[in-house]
């Protein structure tokens, strides 16, 4: 049987009451970190009662408080995007699938419904790159549903987008206002002098293999215990999983590199805890609060290091973040902090397991599964960390970080630790 989704015409959901009309600036972090990248994700719920109507009305109410989200991204000066609070609203799609979630294996990989059918896009006469957020609710014959979201990384980081979606959930559950009042205040973040621009980066298109590997909670806790026993310190799940992946990938690609060749790890670390003296409240701020962390070692060093030693490298890099971030805000860094080579030696990781999308409740409990797909990323090796579908625990790795010749070794090495 062929599984398909029937979509309504895309329409706008404006705020339910009038909102301020103004043009708001974006922060220097927004403009430096994200440019106009869009991010897609899908929440899977096993039960709901007329979710299209409930969520549509909830968006309208939440947009009263988050009125910039109902606006559009504009550029009055080239390279200086800002938000025009026009009150137009977000694009919304109502959709129905001709199958149950069970028919499509709860949307586990490989997807039996193309992701494009579960995600919203604006009408042809609207500029996709100007939109702040779009949403689609798809109902399945079993009574389950999905919420597909596309948001602009220029306006939100992951925590900020999750904050907004939690507010939508609160409106759907009958709250009169969000429990966390939203804060814009992008202009309070310093705008340090920009270092001279170098030549544009060159990109190589790779043929990455897509793999899914699950790391059990027990395995993660075992490494945490080992780290604590050896150092008298604690480490996070992110530290452990990242150390596992970086070490396993280094071994997998060793056959194609020399022992002294460099392998690099890159990830975006949250800096919200470093903005308490700058923002009126960190809790309600939903802009970008990230700063890149990069670590470079020879492949021989990573291959010969223990997991505990690699965890220590990651923790040391995170500790150094405070100094580098403050130096950047004060204009003290003379080089570009986004200067990580985008080649096969670089692994970038993104942790979606604690962002907050798994905690959104529209009235029928939290989602059973939240996922994003990076199948079209072929420039830089990447991995995304997800919570596996309930009731499983641990971390699900969505991998597009090696080509076919290294894929089997990588997965086998990870499974030894899983």
Catalytic position from the list 30, 40, 153, 351: 153
Q: What letter does residue 178 receive in the DSSP assignment?
A: -
The CA-CA-CA angle for residues 414, 113, 205, to 5°, reads: 55
CB 290, CB 27: distance < 8 Å: no
Tokens of 212: 């899914």
The number of angstroms, rounded, from the C-alpha of 345 to the middle of its chain's C-alpha atoms is 22
Is residue 130 within 8 Å of 72, Cβ to Cβ?
A: yes
- Under 8 Å between Cβ of 105 and 389: no
Active site residue 361: yes
Comparing CA positions, the residue from 119, 51, 49, 110 lying closest to residue 91 is 119
CA atoms within 13 Å, Cβ hemisphere of 411 = 16
The neighbouring-strand residues paired with 382 are: 348, 400
Kindly report the number of other CB atoms within 10 A of residue 309's CB atom: 16
Which residue, chain included where needed, has tokens 């470079």? 296
To 10 degrees, what angle do helices 307-329 and 237-253 make? 110
Active site annotation includes 354: no
Q: What is the DSSP string of 231-281?
A: HS----HHHHHHHHHHHHHHHHHGGGS-TT-EEEEEEEEE-GGG-TTTSS-
Question: Hey, which residues does 295 pair with through a beta bridge?
Answer: 265
Task: Report, as residue numbers or ranges, the catalytic residues.
Answer: 153, 361
């Amino acid at each position: 049987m062929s599984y398909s989704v029937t979509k309504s015409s895309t329409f706008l959901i404006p705020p339910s009451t009038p909102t301020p009309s103004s043009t708001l600036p974006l922060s220097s972090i927004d403009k430096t970190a994200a440019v106009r990248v869009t991010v897609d994700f899908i929440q899977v719920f096993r039960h709901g009662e007329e979710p299209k109507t409930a969520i549509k009305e909830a968006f309208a109410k939440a947009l009263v408080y988050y009125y910039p989200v109902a606006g559009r991204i504009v550029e009055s000066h080239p390279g200086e995007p800002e938000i025009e609070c026009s009150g137009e609203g977000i694009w919304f799609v109502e959709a129905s699938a001709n199958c149950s979630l069970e028919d499509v294996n709860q949307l586990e990989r490989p997807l039996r419904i193309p992701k494009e059918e579960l995600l919203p896009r604006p009408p042809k006469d609207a500029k996709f790159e100007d939109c702040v957020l779009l949403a689609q609710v798809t109902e399945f014959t079993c009574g389950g549903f999905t919420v597909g979201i596309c948001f602009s990384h220029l306006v939100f980081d992951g925590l900020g987008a999750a904050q907004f979606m939690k507010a939508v959930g609160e409106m759907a559950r009958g709250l009169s206002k969000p429990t966390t009042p939203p804060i814009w205040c992008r202009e309070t973040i310093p705008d340090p002098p920009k270092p001279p621009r170098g030549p544009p980066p060159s990109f190589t298109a790779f043929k990455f293999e897509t793999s899914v590997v699950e790391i059990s909670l027990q395995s993660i806790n075992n490494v945490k215990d080992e780290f604590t026993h050896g150092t008298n310190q604690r480490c996070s799940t992110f530290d452990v999983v990242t150390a596992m992946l970086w070490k396993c990938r280094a071994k997998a690609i060793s056959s194609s590199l020399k022992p002294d060749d460099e392998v690099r790890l890159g990830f975006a670390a949250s800096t919200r805890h470093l903005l308490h003296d700058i923002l009126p409240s960190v809790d309600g701020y939903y802009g970008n609060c990230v700063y890149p962390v990069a670590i470079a070692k020879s492949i021989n060093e990573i291959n010969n290091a223990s997991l505990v030693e690699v965890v220590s490298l990651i923790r040391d890099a995170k500790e150094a973040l405070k100094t580098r971030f403050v130096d950047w805000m004060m204009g003290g860094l003379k080089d570009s902090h986004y200067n990580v080579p985008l080649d096969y030696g670089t692994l970038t990781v993104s942790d979606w397991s604690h962002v907050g999308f798994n905690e959104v409740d529209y009235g029928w409990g939290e989602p059973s599964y939240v996922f994003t797909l990076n199948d079209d990323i072929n420039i830089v090796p990447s991995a995304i960390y997800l919570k596996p579908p309930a009731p499983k625990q641990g971390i699900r790795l969505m991998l597009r970080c090696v080509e076919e010749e290294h894929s089997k070794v990588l997965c086998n090495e990870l499974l030894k630790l899983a």
